[in-house]
Amino acid sequence: MPPYSPASMNGPISEKLFEAAKKLIPGGVNSPVRAFRNVEGDPFFVRRAKGCRIEDVDGRSLIDYVCTWGPAILGHAPTVITNTVHQVAKEGLSFGIPNPSEVEIAKIIVEWVPSVEKVRMVNSGTEATMSAIRLARGFTGRDKIVKFEGHYHGHVDSLLVAAGSGALTHGEPDSAGIPRSFAAETIAVPFNLPERIEEVFTKFGHEIAAIILEPYPANAGFILPQPGYLELLRALTTRHGALLIFDEVMTGFRLAKGGVQELTGITPDLTAMGKVIGGGLPVGAFGGRADIMDQLAPDGPVYQAGTLSGNPLAMAAGLAQLKELEKQNGYQRLEAIGQRFEKGLRGIISEKGLPYRLNRVGSMWCLYFGDSEIINVDSVQKGDFEAFKRFFWASLEKGVYLAPSPYETGFLSLAHSDRDIDDTLEIFAECLG
């Protein structure tokens, strides 16, 4: 694999913009992973994106496998969405009062997602998980939450929690600014280890309001649950009167119309959603059983509100995207693209005798640079991160943009043609040599 030289990768305009940004914005970025710290370099700045390509301010064109971290399932700036946003914007950008698109998108979500009988729109995935946790506590009258190490649910105080020093200790804050008293109500356990979650419920089952998890974890690369594991979580929560919350902000409407719960047949009590249902605009949603959702204000005692929730632009863009996915039989096409990509990449790995692991479902994938079986974040951390850095920079230099971190998932879109996939695989073959 070729050496990398991050300092030489960006053009002068990106370099100048980043120097200015660092003086005005913490770290020079508005979300930490954009800082490229995990690959020991500096970010470039993008001026436009179309289809499966992004173009930076210095004129470099790149095949994009980040896809806005998931929402760009049709590709960047699809005409059906840009035209919709243009038309809706002429009628007003925000009303602060109900609009028809809120009802229409709610109807689609309820029809498509197995667990959802009622849904409320919010403005981000973080808002969705935060609200779902509050609702679970309000519904059950319990305080404790169980989460899994390496599962990211937004920057919510009670969910930015790492495991304590012992197997069954309460959590420890994973960020400055989070009181220990908040973290103490969260129990963090390793994913995919049945005995650990069973121990937690044996000890604390009567105190647990909910388990929250990414059913297919996508913030430590892309991890799949072991056979029977999701079924175990469903059984434990049901037995102990706790709720099961699926965070499908990344997987929802991307892997299937009904997300992971459609693929697995495991129905949670509540689901957090986002990304794809906004068509590229800020959005989030949470929904579930009607008896639980009816505890929300104004009908119930659990308060949640948002001035821009159900924003007409985001609702219209999301509707346009969901309808277009259905019109194009999008999930079948994405699976075909994914199979082509996976077959080619596995062929390269095999031909070169590389000890790497590849996980893929539909349009989500991750290449792990190591020989360990990938079952949770501990196994991810055994990988060869230096090899990932070399691969990242070599691919970028040849025109392919990947997430700048070994802990992130790659995404495919309907805009990735067979030719784009083949060109990418040719570049990967060179970069993995």
* 327 given a catalytic annotation: no
| pTM to 2 decimal places | 0.95
Res. 165 pLDDT band, cuts 50 70 90: very low
pLDDT at 410: 97
**Integer Cα distance of 272 and 284 in angstroms:** 8
pLDDT at 157: 79
pLDDT at 139: 98
3-state secondary structure of 26: helix
Closest by Cα among 42, 83, 113, 46 to 274: 113
Contact 242, 210 (CB under 8 A): yes
Per-residue model confidence as pLDDT tens digits over 287-336: 999 999 999 999 999 999 999 999 999 999 999 999 999 999 999 999 99
Res. 164 pLDDT band, cuts 50 70 90: very low
Closest by Cα among 31, 48, 4 to 408: 31
With a CB cutoff of 8 Å and minimum separation 6, the contacts of 49 are 55, 64, 72, 76, 77
pLDDT at 169: 43
Per-residue model confidence as pLDDT tens digits over 9-39: 799 999 999 999 999 999 999 998 899 999 9
pLDDT at 163 over 50: no
DSSP conformation class of 46:
E
Residues 372-397, mean pLDDT to the nearest whole number: 94
pLDDT at 171 over 70: no
With a CB cutoff of 8 Å and minimum separation 6, the contacts of 194 are 228, 229, 232
Average pLDDT in the chain: 94
* 247 given a catalytic annotation: yes
Per-residue model confidence as pLDDT tens digits over 88-107: 999 999 999 999 999 999 99
**Integer Cα distance of 339 and 333 in angstroms:** 10
pLDDT at 408 over 60: yes
Contact 140, 209 (CB under 8 A): yes
pLDDT at 141 over 90: yes
- For residue 338, the Cα-to-chain-centroid distance in whole angstroms is 18
pLDDT at 166 over 50: no
Percentage of the chain modeled with pLDDT above 90 = 88
Which residue among the candidates 42, 56, 64, 247 is catalytic per the annotation?
A: 247
With a CB cutoff of 8 Å and minimum separation 6, the contacts of 133 are 145, 156, 158, 159, 209, 210, 212, 245
Which residue among the candidates 152, 216, 229, 356 is catalytic per the annotation?
A: 152
- Select the more confidently predicted residue: 27 or 2: 27
Which residue among the candidates 144, 147, 257, 275 is catalytic per the annotation?
A: 275
Per-residue model confidence as pLDDT tens digits over 40-51: 999 999 999 999
List domains and CATH numbers for the chain: 6-77+329-431 (3.90.1150.10), 79-327 (3.40.640.10)
